[in-house]
Structure 1
Amino acid sequence: MNRILHGAAPLLALGAVACDRPNPNPSPSPSKPQAAPAIAAKSIMRPAIQAEAAPVTAAPAAPTIVTIAFAYEGYALDDTARARLDRLAQASTTATATSIVIRGHTDASGSDRANLRISMARAIAVRDYLAAAKVRVPMTLVALGERRPVRPGATPDGADDPAGRAANRRVEITLR
């Protein structure tokens, strides 16, 4: 035991000497806090690898919405509607779309059941026309009937508003 303590004596002496020396890096006084030095972050990856690993932060494109108007009764496409659908079928946004939603609408005249049938028939007519024009994007059909009018079908005094009702007879095509 004496031998172990005797061998440890030089180490204890060094420790005692080290405690008596002043600290070369004194800690800051509590009254003056010091900010940590700013160190610029630097990646260890090669720039080419960093470029490949960089996250894509581009915002998604806003959906394209095209409206097709319909006559008072029925679901037949007129010349204006067919021309508009032809332009849509040839547009680059249609070729790059991942999905198309076709929503059929009617005005408030007629029963709810009849309006739902007509709105679905209008959506089907548009889908079939786009499919015949070689649009190969998944299409979803939605029949809304008179549920989402864009204009009132009557004036504030309760009189019929033919222009308002006509605006509600439509199909909205949304490309995403």
Structure 2
Amino acid sequence: MIAIKQRTGAAIAATCAALAACSPASERHGGNDDAVVNTRVVEPAAVETTAGAPTKSILRPEVVEPTPEPTPVQPIDRVIPMDGPVLGDAARQALDELMTNPLVQAGGALTLRGHSDTRGNDRSNLLASRKRAETVRDYLVSKGIAPDRLTVIALGETTPLVPNAQPDGSDDPEARKKNRRVEVHVALPAAPVPADDTAGGNVAAPAD
């Protein structure tokens, strides 16, 4: 009988121990919630620099774009329309704009090639083309371009800009008008011209 009671008591003790293990932690620790360990994962806050901007990665530094090289200065060519031996408004405007170019102001030599249409004989057309080129030369000199920078070449009717006649051989007055012109070529000066100098300065005043 005593052995049965001992076995029964042991079973009751084991049952009580199992029930105690399943009870809430607050009950096991006397109701103190502070003793419960918090296992929640806390996400770290974003790291910012003193200026408030996000930190930069040291593995991928910022890409710095290379500075583009300046465009090299090239000789320039202009066509000055000259229907007659005198300068019209369009010709004056074209020459005035040309003189503001940095290449002209830097001292580059100017070659003036006079042209004519095919009406008339070769000699008269040659003289007419020379007169056109000389008229342009005189205008540039009056605006302060040194005469020793200017070269006049008369080409007459030898190098038309467009055909002087229609495809059927008939006369084309508008085309002949385009061929009456002076072509101005500005060479590079001896001293280099800054590639980014696009504003230009003042042309020297003509001598008294």
| TM-score, structure 1 as length reference | 0.62
Q: Which residue of 1 aligns with 2:184?
A: 173
Deviation at 1:77, TM superposition (A): 0.3
Partner SS state of residue 119, structure 2: coil
Q: Match for residue 63 of structure 1? A: 75
The one-letter amino acid of 1:66's match is R
Q: State the Cα distance separating 1:98 from its structure 2 match.
A: 2.5
Residue identity opposite 1:160 in structure 2: D
C-alpha separation in 1, matches of 2:123 and 2:86: 19
Q: Residues 82-104 of structure 1, C-alpha deviation per residue, up to 9 Å, x if partnerless?
A: 11111212221211242110000
Which amino acid is 1:101 matched to?
Answer: T
Name 1:159's counterpart in structure 2: 170
5+ residue gaps, structure 2, are 1-69, 188-208
Please give the TM-score of this superposition, normalised by the length of structure 2.
Answer: 0.53
Give how far 1:143 is off.
0.1
Higher Rg of the two aligned structures: 2
* CA positional deviation for 1:164: 1.4
Percentage of pairs with the same residue:
41
Q: Distance in 2 between matches of 1:131 and 1:163?
A: 30
Structure 1 residues 141 and 60: CA distance shift in structure 2, 3 A: farther
Structure 1 stretches of at least 4 aligned residues deviating more than 2 Å after TM superposition: 58-62
Corresponding letter in the other structure for 2:87: L
SS class of match (1:174): strand
- Unaligned segments of structure 1, at least 5 residues: 1-57
Partner residue in 2 for 1:124: 134
Contact 1:102-1:172 within 8 A present in 2 as well: yes
Corresponding residue for 1:79?
Answer: 89
**Counterpart for residue 88 of structure 1:** 98
User: Retained in 2: the 8 A contact 1:75–1:122?
Assistant: yes
Q: Structure 2: how far apart are the matches of 1:65 and 1:123?
A: 14
- Which amino acid is 1:150 matched to? L
Q: List aligned pairs for 1:1-176, cutoff 5 A.
A: 61-71=73-83, 74-136=84-146, 138-176=149-187
Provide the aligned length of Structure 1 versus Structure 2.
117
Alpha-carbon shift at residue 119 of structure 1 (Å): 0.5
